[in-house]
Structure 1
Amino acid sequence: MNENDLSLLAGAAARWDLLARALPAATRESLARHLRATRSEPGSEARARAVAAAAGLLRPLLVREEGRLGAPPAASGFTLDDLAVLVLDGHRMVGPVLSAVRERLLAEPALDEAVVAARGGDPRLPALIRLPGPGGLRRLPLFQFEPEAADRVGATPRPRVLAVAVHLDVVDDPWGAADWWLSPNAWLGGVRPAALLGRADEARVDEAARCLNDPEGE
């Protein structure tokens, strides 16, 4: 695979805010089609062709806009995958720091919206965290739901999750809310809040959540 093409696409991701304004709708649709194909099996000919096509599509625009956009940082930390996330998945969890958080949270067990609905639940409840995965498909982290049986999770939200949502910016920052639930918490002695759900001491989650709005415990 051509490293220059990969570098060009990574640079496009690094300055996407400016580039997107100069991108005609038809060009953006073509770019999206090529980026979907870049998600083919690594090392495949289909992926290599898609990378070359996407780079060829953007190269003239980047050259034309170079004076306004400027050269991308020499070591920006952005990647081709980040550009695909921006264009296809519709969120901004990209770059050298946020992409790692994105990958970690999307690797957690989750249910698709359609699965929640099929099990009789409401995947659109405002208090539930919905993370956009590949293609923008919303994924609801599994910890939010009550276990239905020993080997299956149902679609009934845990009451504690709904109660704590008032302290989290679930709608506007679902990534931040998910990260809070799924990261070690200093107020809980390094335990992830999600790990306390269903335990006798799960009420400790309330105190940790309140500290988000009152960090000094006043």
Structure 2
Amino acid sequence: MTPDDLVALLGDHWPQTLAALAPDEQEELAGLLQNLASAADSQAVRATLRRLRRLLRALPDEHPVTRALRDGVRFAGAPDALEVDRAPVLALLATLHGPPEPDPVHARLLAAPALPAADVAAAPGEPGLIRLRHPALGDRYPRFQFAAGTTRPLAVVSRINRLLMADRDPWGAADWWLGGNRWLGGVPADLLGSVPDEELARAARELVEGD
């Protein structure tokens, strides 16, 4: 059973699950789902899932979620590849308290011009492109990554995105491009075409090597 399977299992039995939990357990469940929706990496996902499973052990023995967990859930995927589809998690949260407050950094990055996944010719798994998940609009690709008026990725962007490991941390890579950079004296995405490509790449290497 994958993490997404567990979330789907909860969704299939959501009213029954809430009815079986005490009010404080419902609040704990809401908090864990919020943590899951905002988890930044596989380690955070795995830690939240462990706490979620412990909470679900409070369900009655005859509960369908309990029966599904009784066989022993082993989450698929290596620790550095564990991911969760946030959309179903956010849908469950919306039934409790309405949509959770968006992370301010994520909200800022999602407000930048972007292309929907359907308009991007490159495969969604392309490690040279930043792909952000919008809670309402689905996968989005920040517009600065492409040549003006096209969906052709800029070579320097793909190169730097690989340096920034955008396939593992798309939000961090997007924040580098769309935030102020003291080394460059501006916002890297705004400097494309006016600052030499190698200078942009050097600034990205300074960040990576500094970590």
| TM value normalised by structure 1 | 0.55
Aligned residue for 2:144?
A: 143
Aligned residue for 2:110?
A: 106
Alignment RMSD (CA, Å) = 4.0
Q: 1:178 & 1:213 partners in 2: Cα distance?
A: 14
Task: Give matches, 1:132-211, under 5 Å.
Answer: 132-134=133-135, 137-147=138-148, 153-189=149-185, 191-211=186-206
Q: 2:190 is matched by which residue type in structure 1?
A: A
Q: Deviations over 1:112-161 (max 9, x none)?
A: 111123xxx555422101111125721000000011xxxxx201111110
CA contact (8 A) 2:8 2:88 kept: no
Shift of 1:89: 6.3
Cα 1:203–1:164 change in 2 (3 A) is same
SS in 2 for 1:60: helix
Does the alignment pair 1:127 with 2:124?
no
Q: 2:90 & 2:128 partners in 1: Cα distance?
A: 22
Q: 2:105 & 2:87 partners in 1: Cα distance?
A: 15
Q: 1:57 & 1:65 partners in 2: Cα distance?
A: 16
Aligned residue for 1:53?
A: none
SS in 2 for 1:198: coil
Aligned residue for 1:28?
A: 11
SS in 2 for 1:127: coil
Q: 1:173 is matched by which residue type in structure 2?
A: D
Gaps of 5+ in 1: 1-16, 32-55, 148-152
Cα 1:89–1:127 change in 2 (3 A) is farther
CA contact (8 A) 2:164 2:208 kept: no
Shift of 1:104: 1.0
Aligned residue for 1:34?
A: none
| TM value normalised by structure 2 | 0.57
Gaps of 5+ in 2: 39-84, 92-98
